[in-house]
Structure formats: C-alpha cells, structure tokens
C-alpha cells in the first residue's frame, strides 16, 4: 500500500524542524525558503500548521505542465519533476492550489516534495507527530477515536 504524508496541525508545536531537515537534504543548506514543507506559525494564538504537497490524484501541476515534465513515481506515488525536461515556466507553481510547488532561484529548478524517495525526512524528524508517513486508510483514525471517546463519555453519563 502506498503511503501518504499525513498532516495533523493540531499536533504541530511550530518548531520547523521539518523545514530544516528538508532544506538540508535537498539543498545542503538550512533555509526555510528552500524547504519543500513550510510551517506557518500563528504566534499570537499559539497555533501552527505545516503545508506540503499532497501528491494529489488529479494533479494540477502535471495537468498544466506544457512539456510533460511532471509525472507520478510508480514506487512512492510522489509527483516528480524531470528537471532536464522542465522549462521553469512556473505554470505548475501557479496551478497548485496549495502553493506547494515553487521555483528555487538558487539551483534554478522547480521544487516540490519528492517524498525523499519513500523515506520522507520531515516525518522522520517530526517529534510531535504532526507530520507522519502512513497508509492513508489509517489516517485520521486517531481523530475519529477522539470524537468517539467524547461521545462515549457522554453516553456513560446519561445511560
């Protein structure tokens, strides 16, 4: 079964370790703007949310690419950019509804999450569990269980 990056913002502590490890393994430097994942910290209210490519089934980036440079990796399911074909026209960047595909002027490539070839480092280094790499069928079971627990406790009170 293909795994997905599952994002659970309610667990994110806003530490941005994912940005650090992502930019480092992809570019050799620590630079949030060259990371494929971005954490938005809402400091005033203490909430945070990581945003990263969702490897959509219907992929706007692939659909819009004029030269067919974006395709799905058979093994990981990641949408991959063939940099040698890519025109750097940035249409994928414009089309992506998540803003998860952007242009890196330093290395002159379109950058997006490649799932690190099946071992995404953001998930490996995330200590809060806000980013995990798992079977999508299992995703959100914890949230459903949380809700169920609330219902269960209500039932316990009234029955």
Partner 1 sequence: MFGWMGQILRVNLSNGQVSKLNLDIDTMSQYIGARGLGTKIFYDEVDPMVDPLSPENKIIFLTGPLTGTLAASAGRYNVVTKGPLNGTIAASNSGGAFGPEMKFAGYDGIILEGRAENPVYLWLYNDQLEIRNAEGIWGQDVVTATDLIKAATDEEAKVACIGPAGEKLVKFACIMNEYNRAAGRSGVGAVLGSKNVKAISVRGTKGVRVANSAGFLAAATDARNKLRAHPVTGQGLGAYGTNILVNILNEHGGLPVKNFSEAAVFADAEKISGEYQAEKYLVRNKSCFGCTVGCGRVAKIPKGKFKSRGEGPEYEATWAFGADLYINDFEAVSKANYLCNELGLDPITMGGTLACAVEMYQKKLIPAEDVEVPLTWGDGDLLVEMVKKTAYREGFGDKLAEGSYRLAEKYGHPEYSMTVKKQELPAYDPRGQQGIALNYATSNRGGCHVRGYMTSPEVLGVPVKVDPDSTEGKPALLKLFQDLTALCDSAGICLFTTFGIGLPEISAQIREATGVNMSDEEFLLAGERIWNLEKMFNLAAGLSAKDDRLPPRFLEEPMKGGPHKGHVVELDKMLPEYYQLRGWDEQGVPSDAKKAELGLS
- Give the residue from 16, 11, 19, 18 showing the smallest Cα distance to 47: 11
Q: Which DSSP letter does residue 93 get? A: H
Among 4, 6, 16, 80, binds partner 1 (CB under 8 A): 16
Would you call 80 helix, strand, or coil by DSSP? Answer: strand
In this structure, are residues 113 and 21 in contact, taking their beta carbons and an 8 Å threshold? Answer: no
Does residue number 97 form part of the binding site for partner 1 (CB under 8 A)? no
Which of 31-39, 69-77, 85-93, 109-117 is the region at the interface with partner 1 (rule: CB under 8 A)? Answer: 31-39
Which of 29-37, 61-69, 86-94, 139-147 is the region at the interface with partner 1 (rule: CB under 8 A)? Answer: 29-37
Which of 64-72, 81-89, 122-130, 133-141 is the region at the interface with partner 1 (rule: CB under 8 A)? Answer: 122-130
Does residue number 31 form part of the binding site for partner 1 (CB under 8 A)? yes
Cα–Cα dist 59/149, whole Å? 36
Looking only at Cα atoms, what is the longest distance across the chain?
A: 66
Residues that bind partner 1 (CB under 8 A): 10, 13-17, 20-21, 23-24, 27-34, 41, 43-48, 125, 127-128
């Amino acid at each position: 079964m293909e795994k997905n990056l599952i994002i659970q913002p309610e667990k994110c502590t806003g530490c941005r370790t994912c940005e650090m490890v992502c930019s480092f393994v992809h570019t050799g430097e620590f630079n949030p703007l060259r990371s494929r994942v971005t954490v938005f910290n809402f400091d005033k209210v203490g909430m945070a949310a990581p945003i990263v490519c969702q490897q959509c089934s219907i992929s706007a980036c692939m659909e819009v690419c004029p030269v067919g440079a974006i395709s799905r990796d058979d093994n990981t399911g990641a949408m991959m950019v063939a940099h040698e074909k890519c025109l750097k026209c940035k249409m994928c960047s414009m089309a992506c509804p998540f803003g998860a595909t952007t242009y890196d002027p330093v290395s002159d490539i379109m950058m997006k999450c490649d799932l690190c070839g099946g071992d995404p480092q953001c998930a490996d280094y995330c200590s809060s569990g806000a980013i995990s790499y798992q079977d999508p069928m299992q995703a959100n079971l914890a949230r459903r269980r949380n809700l169920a627990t609330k219902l269960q406790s209500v039932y316990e009170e009234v029955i």
